């Protein structure tokens, strides 16, 4: 399937290799990168929540209710990290089961077109 082409008479003119042509592969790459970015942001956020809980514990001044609240904050952040890592591995197992590449990796492709006898190829392999 050609996404960006022009036909004049019998001559078909296709876009050069440097022109992004979109399609399913590029959509999957964007989605994979977006999911990877969301996981990264969630890991960083959970790390800062653990630090916040530690600071609350330090600044509690010995008050048992404040220590309990700080402990719950740290425990919930660690549970969140565990759930996050498990979901990442589950998503990767499911995608590999269906033949897709893992989350955060680029789908490999090679696309070639010919213009006036010159072959243009673009690839991320």
- For 11-60, the three-class secondary structure string (H helix, E strand, C coil) is EEEECCCCCCCCCHHHHHHHHHHHHHHHHHHHHHHHHHHHHHHHHHHHCC
pLDDT at 116: 61
From CA 80, how far away is CA 39, in angstroms rounded? 12
From CA 117, how far away is CA 119, in angstroms rounded? 6
Number of domains in the chain: 1
Contact between 95 and 35 under an 8 Å Cβ cutoff? The reply is no
Domain hosting 17: range is 5-123
Task: Calculate ∠ Cα 31-85-70, nearest 5°.
Answer: 120
pLDDT one digit per residue (tens) for the chain, 125 residues:
445 556 677 777 676 666 666 666 677 777 778 888 898 999 999 999 999 999 999 999 889 999 999 999 999 999 999 999 999 888 878 877 776 666 655 555 555 655 566 655 555 44
């Amino acid at each position: 399937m050609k996404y960006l082409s022009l036909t004049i008479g019998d001559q078909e003119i296709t876009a050069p290799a440097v022109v992004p042509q979109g399609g399913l592969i590029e959509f999957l790459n964007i989605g994979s990168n977006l999911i990877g970015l969301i996981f990264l942001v969630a890991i960083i956020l959970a790390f800062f929540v653990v630090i916040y809980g530690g600071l609350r514990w330090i600044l509690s001044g010995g008050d048992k209710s404040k220590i309990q609240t700080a402990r719950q904050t740290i425990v919930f952040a660690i549970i969140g990290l565990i759930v996050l890592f498990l979901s990442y591995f589950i998503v990767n197992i499911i995608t590999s089961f269906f033949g897709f590449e893992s989350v955060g990796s680029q789908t490999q492709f090679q696309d070639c077109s010919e213009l006036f006898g010159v072959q243009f190829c673009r690839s991320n392999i």
